[in-house]
Amino acid sequence: MKNRFAIILGFATVLATSACNKDFLNQIDPNNQPVSEYFQTENDVQLAVNGIYQSLRSSNAIGESSGLFTEERSDNTGRNDSQSNAGEPFQFGDFSLLSSNTYLKSHWVDMYKCISRANLVLTNIDKVSFANENTKKGFAAEAKFLRALIYFHMVRKWGDVPLVTKQLTTLEEVDGATFRAKDTAVYSQIVNDLLDVVNSPLPDFQTGASVGRVSKAAGNGLLGQVYLTMALTIDNGKKTENLTKAKQYLDACYNMRKFGQLKEIPYSDVFSVEKKSSCPELIFQIVYKQGDATYSSSIAANNQAKGETVNSQKVATGVGGNVTGDLVNEYEANDLRKDFSIKYANADIVKDWFITKFRDASDAAGKNGYGGNDFILMRYADIILMLAEVNMYLGDNGTAIQYLDMVRARAGMPDYNTSMQNTAYSSRFSSLKLAILHERRIELAFENHRWYDLLRTFSTDELVTYFHAKDQTYFGIAKVANFSKKDRYYPIPFDEYKLNPEKMYQNPGY
């Protein structure tokens, strides 16, 4: 068992690399080469960095099909099949998750695979001589961003987690790393990594063949989100300080933008396969390759319901990406995002709403559904709504509303003050905080933000109240009443817990 943990956290034969610097999706396998001999040239480092990006694409990490661990945990999506795959996927939205769940274990393993690959680069990069020191600093910054990104996902899902920042090469090192570090220590490492990113020689934005790689805009945006999350979820006596820093870095990201007003960018352009390399709203995305059987996107085809053709030419036979009635009911009248994002399927086996936000029905994607959709991890509407949030918490409601209205204007919706005169709106979103949370839900639906937004907005007791107030009829057979205090965090996977029940202690309630 300890050998398995060593593989996850540190042993180096997990590298997957790129065949050329223009297309870091095409991978070769260098596993037959010892790591001690691998890092010789700048190109070796670049290939190893590409391997970190490659690991992000896994549906068990944060790739396009990872919504099981986020959207299905929230009130946005779900499933009515409690039997398939031993019922394990159903446990996430039913709030009946067991520590033995194999999907949960795979998620944990693949997240640490990303971290392990980043640590491999950062441990060995000094062995290589670089013609330009900025090239070296850039590769290191990319690895640190990706490590920080994954730890940010993990600390919000599990709380305390093992914190490993170097390549582990012996069982003794693995044993020494087999303990849960406090969430404050994990956040401290995340911040330190991201500070190095924002102070690195990386460009403000990546262009051309480098789209999908880390940039300073992404570093500032993520660091701002981290500080905002810390301010609202970590009791360290630094709430105002963290909010101020969140505003600083979110402002820095916003001021790097290459457009004027958000409304200049049509909502549909954000998700257009044809414009994915040029849309100025996009900050950081996982790249997929249209028409390629191995590296293409399947999100459009997988979300499509039987009898429908809006997403893909591939013939669908199932229910597609299910949307809860709770989310459907939250769309305001005449919100253009609704018709773009969701559709009602009326086939014999499907009489329900499904996701249409991700589309590639082109001939290039074909009847196999080999789509070219990139999976967007960060875009400017997200940054703008976080700026609304942080300004609200700092007491500047006027500025917060200005940011909120930018997103509403693009969606063709009335501004906030006008909307508050509408009883249908004001009765549901009675405070600015709830209005911002609503806007994030609608704007960013199915982009894997909702669960984290709920964790950031509500205390644990408030979350219990929030879910218990939901109308069960909008959630199918998944029982929202199952939600309890334990469900704020995931259980530590049982195989990890039993490595050392004392140092890998289980989260309460599991």
pTM comes to: 0.94
> What's 279-297 look like in SS3?
CCCEEEEECCCCCCCCCCE
pLDDT, residue 29, reads 52
pLDDT in tens, 150-204: 999 999 999 999 999 999 999 999 999 999 999 999 999 999 999 999 999 999 9
Instruction: Give me the chain's average pLDDT, please.
Output: 93
- Which one-letter amino acid corresponds to residue 199? N
Q: What is the DSSP-derived secondary structure letter of residue 329? A: T
Q: Give burial (CB, 10 Å; 0-12/13-18/19+) of 272.
A: middle
Three-class secondary structure of residue 80 per DSSP = coil
pLDDT reading at 23 higher than 60? no
Residue from 137, 139, 147, 119 nearest 44 by CA: 139
> What's 421-455 look like in SS3?
CCHHHHCCCCCHHHHHHHHHHHHCCCCCCHHHHHH
* CA 217/CA 198 separation, integer angstroms: 8
pLDDT, residue 236, reads 86
Residue 332 contacts residue 407 (beta carbons within 8 Å): no
pLDDT, residue 34, reads 75
Phi, psi of 23 (to 5 degrees): -135, 95
* CA 304/CA 355 separation, integer angstroms: 7
Do 1-202+484-510 and 206-287+374-457 share a fold? yes
Q: Minimum mean pLDDT among 77-81, 414-418, 458-462: which range?
A: 77-81
pLDDT, residue 36, reads 73
Collect all residues with Cβ–Cβ distance below 8 Å to 131 and sequence separation of at least 6.
42
Q: What are the boundaries of each domain within the chain? A: 1-202+484-510, 206-287+374-457, 292-370
Residue from 283, 193, 213, 289 nearest 46 by CA: 213
Residue 162 contacts residue 115 (beta carbons within 8 Å): no
Residue 319 contacts residue 306 (beta carbons within 8 Å): yes
CA angle 143, 144, 146 (to 5 degrees): 65
32 band by pLDDT with thresholds 50, 70 and 90: low
pLDDT reading at 98 higher than 50? yes
* CA 428/CA 439 separation, integer angstroms: 12
Residue from 226, 63, 194 nearest 118 by CA: 194
pLDDT reading at 24 higher than 60? no
Rg (CA), the chain: 22
Find residue 379's DSSP bridge partners: 282
Q: What percent of the chain has pLDDT over 70?
A: 94
* CA 152/CA 224 separation, integer angstroms: 12
CATH number for the domain running over 206-287+374-457? 1.25.40.390
Q: Which helix (H) or strand (E) holds 345?
A: strand 342-346
CA angle 246, 228, 138 (to 5 degrees): 60
pLDDT in tens, 111-121: 999 999 999 99
Q: Could you please report the per-residue DSSP string of 450-474?
A: HHHHHHHHS-HHHHHHHHHTS-GGG
pLDDT in tens, 246-275: 999 999 999 999 999 999 999 999 999 999
Q: Which helix (H) or strand (E) holds 255?
A: helix 239-255
Give the pLDDT mean for 104-128: 97
**Residue 228, token pair as written in the block:** 């905002």
Q: What is the DSSP-derived secondary structure letter of residue 211? A: B
Fold exhibited by the domain 1-202+484-510: 1.25.40
* CA 411/CA 484 separation, integer angstroms: 35
